Amino acid sequence: MAVIAESGSNPDVDLLYDINGLAKDAPHWFDRAMEFVGEYGLLVAMVLLVVWCWWSVRRRGDEDAPSTVAALVWAPLAAAIAVLVNVPIRGFVERPRPFLTHQGIDVLVSGKTDYSFVSDHATITMALGVGLFVANRRFGVAGIGLALLEGFCRVYMGVHYPTDVVGGFALGTAVVLLLSPLATALLTPVMKAVEGSARVGWIVRGRSAGVGLVPGGRTPVEAEERDLAA
């Protein structure tokens, strides 16, 4: 329905040509690397960063471990919700990919036939990055940095306008922050219940953390089960 930045005099298009123009001057191997990183690599890196953060949290075993793990669970859920929200947005805006309406774009990834606004990759990575920041600032800063790099790659690859990326960043951030209070209120009690389980408590707190153990190195639940068995 709506069309954004059709004119070559638009700063959005000018920035697209400036960033994508770097691909024309770069070696072939570098373009192939950027293609992999922008299409798959950074998404995998974001997932690994979330897992790393979770592993770090459960090893420390702090008192706020359930709420932190709840925030980490919320991060990918928020990313999925943001992508679903993007479906009607794309259908309403109906913005063609930049290489379909502008000549001279060096396209590094073929087969992109869907609409351009907003970028799913930018939406997912920023949602994960901001979700990480809610859980842990140190990991969150790294995640947001990866999301910004993802946005640059999408424009470099010639498959998105800069405003597609900015829109994705805004959408991912909005979903995470606006729904975070509700998600935290729902997920934290679940994580506390998981923490108290003898079988799956390791998801929230590692045994080596030593927090909440009774004499003998057992969790309260394990001690109670042993007493009942006796």
What is the DSSP secondary structure assignment for residue 206, as one 8-state letter?
-
- The two structure tokens encoding residue 10: 């638009």
| pLDDT confidence of residue 36 | 94
**For residue 201, is it within any domain?**
no
Q: What is the pLDDT of residue 208?
A: 57
Structural domain includes residue 29: yes
Is 225 inside a domain boundary? no
- Residue-by-residue pLDDT tens, the chain, 230 positions: 444 444 446 888 999 999 998 988 889 999 999 999 999 999 999 999 999 999 998 888 778 889 999 999 999 999 999 999 999 999 998 899 998 888 888 888 887 888 999 999 999 999 999 999 999 999 999 999 999 999 999 999 999 999 999 999 999 999 999 999 999 999 999 999 888 888 888 888 876 554 444 444 444 444 444 544 44
Residue 227 lies in a domain: no
Q: What's the token pair of residue 134?
A: 């809610």
Between CA 138 and CA 154 the distance in angstroms is: 25
| Residue 218: inside a domain | no
Q: How many domains are contained in the chain?
A: 1
Place of tokens 């691909």: 23
Q: Under a CB-based contact definition with an 8 Å cutoff, are residues 160 and 120 in contact?
A: no
Beta bridge partners of 214: 218
223 lies in some domain: no
Which pLDDT value is given to residue 207? 63
Task: Please report, to the nearest 10 degrees, the dihedral formed by the alpha carbons of residues 3, 7, 12, 14 taken in order.
Answer: 160
pTM: 0.83
- Per the structure block, which two tokens stand in for 224? 């109670």
Instruction: Confirm whether 101 is domain-assigned.
Output: yes
Residue 21 lies in a domain: yes
Give the pLDDT of residue 101: 87
Q: State the Cα–Cα distance between residues 147 and 43, nearest whole angstrom.
A: 9
Q: Which domain holds residue 185?
A: 11-195
- Biggest distance spanned by C-alpha atoms of the chain: 81
Task: Evaluate whether 39 touches 109 at the Cβ level (below 8 Å).
Answer: yes
Residue 217 confidence (pLDDT): 43
We report the CATH number of the domain holding residue 17 as: 1.20.144
For 96-134, how does the pLDDT look when each residue is reduced to its tens digit (9 = 90+)? 999 888 888 888 888 788 899 999 999 999 999 999 999
Q: Is 50 exposed, middle or buried (0-12, 13-18, 19+ CB in 10 A)?
A: buried
